[in-house]
Amino acid sequence: MPLVENISNKRKFWFIDVGFIWKFIPFKTSDKRKHRVMYFVLTCIQPKYILSMNWMTTRESLYMVWTAKHQKSKFIVVQHGAYGGGVVRDISHKYTKCDFFLTWGSFFTEKFKRNNSLKKVSIIDFGNTIYNKLKRENFAYKDKKTNKILLLPTALKKGDLLHFYNLINRLKELDFQIVVKEHGKQGIEKDKNGNIKYPSIEGFTKITGQLYLTLEENDFDFIIADHSTALLDAIFFKNKVLYFDPKNNIKGYTTQYSKYLPNIFADDYSNKSKNYFKDAIDIQNQEALFANMVTLGNNNLEII
């Protein structure tokens, strides 16, 4: 939507919701005829660009097949997350299947160029489309003394959830007020056997709704996140952050976050004082982390 709403883009392009077209093709998704009809529709429309947020599904595979046959059209994928703190663990994410990939910044551009050096794909520093539409200079770091802390974990399985309960209990012992914003999959997504994959976080105040609005308010002393993209979101809006990631430093997995911020989990936080958590905040390093991973752009598609 930030691309669609951009004034320069609106002047130059007409935008059509491709999901609307898929919806009205009268065949099931698994039916090959549905994809044949879409191929025909694209041939009739002849779009200059096809925009998506991934290249993983059969729909996106169709777009790539179609643009390969129609050289004047391009399939563009917009990066929609920071993966695991900058680590692309899923092998299917590493190898692009698009004509253009718009990354959040040079860190991701370099990573994907290395992974796709033999592919004919243009990988461009574009910036996060939501960040791009906002003026970061309008936000400021604040010295809050509310004792309120916001936790922003990724989707957590039972074993990982226990680590967060331990952290929360210690913070409560120090008289911090804990607020949790669960991941969208927490307590909802089920495995193939019908069991809840990520159990709900219970016993604490929760907030729901649009995370960006909460972060923009900057109403917490600090925010704690793991390898979630939400940590970068919090920094963009100039919230003070702490990094707590039980999964970091295991074999084959060290995040980009941990190169700039200490991982609180690695310390024995069970006997730490209130000042320990406050003193662990490092605004200079979290700004350096953000600058390393994110380029602030303008959402103008004419750069392609």
Q: Does the pLDDT at position 56 exceed 70?
A: yes
Residue 172 is assigned to a structural domain of this protein? yes
Same structural domain, 121 and 147: no
pLDDT at 42: 97
pLDDT in tens, 10-41: 999 999 999 999 999 999 988 999 999 999 99
pTM: 0.92
Residue 298 is assigned to a structural domain of this protein? no
Round to whole Å and give the CA distance between 223 and 241: 5
- Domain stop point among 102, 133, 164: 133
Q: Does the pLDDT at position 175 exceed 80?
A: yes
pLDDT in tens, 176-220: 999 999 888 888 888 888 888 888 888 888 988 889 999 999 999
pLDDT above 70 covers what percent of the chain? 98
Residue 297 is assigned to a structural domain of this protein? no
- The residue range of the domain holding 276 is 138-285
Q: Does the pLDDT at position 252 exceed 90?
A: no
Q: Does the pLDDT at position 75 exceed 90?
A: yes
- Domain stop point among 75, 103, 133: 133
Q: What is the mean pLDDT of residues 46-66?
A: 95
Q: Which residue has the tokens 């006997």?
A: 271
Report the C-alpha dihedral over residues 125, 128, 129, 130, rounded to 10 degrees: -160
Question: 10 Å Cβ neighbour count for 112?
Answer: 21
Q: What is the mean pLDDT of residues 126-136?
A: 96
pLDDT at 20: 93
Question: 10 Å Cβ neighbour count for 48?
Answer: 14
Residue 301 is assigned to a structural domain of this protein? no
Q: What is the mean pLDDT of residues 135-142?
A: 95
Confidence band for 243, pLDDT divided at 50, 70 and 90: very high
Alpha helices in the chain (DSSP H): 2-5, 7-12, 18-23, 32-45, 58-69, 91-94, 106-115, 129-132, 158-173, 211-217, 230-236, 274-279, 283-293
Q: Does the pLDDT at position 89 exceed 90?
A: no
Report the C-alpha dihedral over residues 132, 255, 282, 298, rounded to 10 degrees: -10
pLDDT in tens, 258-272: 999 999 998 888 889
Round to whole Å and give the CA distance between 109 and 66: 25
Round to whole Å and give the CA distance between 99 and 64: 8
Q: What is the mean pLDDT of residues 237-258?
A: 85
Same structural domain, 146 and 267: yes
Q: Does the pLDDT at position 253 exceed 80?
A: no
Q: Does the pLDDT at position 97 exceed 60?
A: yes
Same structural domain, 194 and 157: yes
- Domain stop point among 88, 103, 133: 133
Cross-strand pairs, 122: 100
Round to whole Å and give the CA distance between 299 and 2: 7
Confidence band for 251, pLDDT divided at 50, 70 and 90: low
Q: Does the pLDDT at position 130 exceed 80?
A: yes
Residue 167 is assigned to a structural domain of this protein? yes
pLDDT at 186: 82
pLDDT in tens, 99-119: 999 999 999 999 999 999 999
**Is 61 or 193 the better-scoring residue by pLDDT?**
61
pLDDT at 250: 65
pLDDT at 159: 83
Phi-psi region at 28: left, alpha or beta (left = phi > 0; alpha = psi -120 to 50): beta
**Is 90 or 23 the better-scoring residue by pLDDT?**
23
Domain count, the chain: 2
Same structural domain, 110 and 178: no
Q: What is the mean pLDDT of residues 225-249?
A: 93
CATH number for the domain spanning 273: value is: 3.40.50
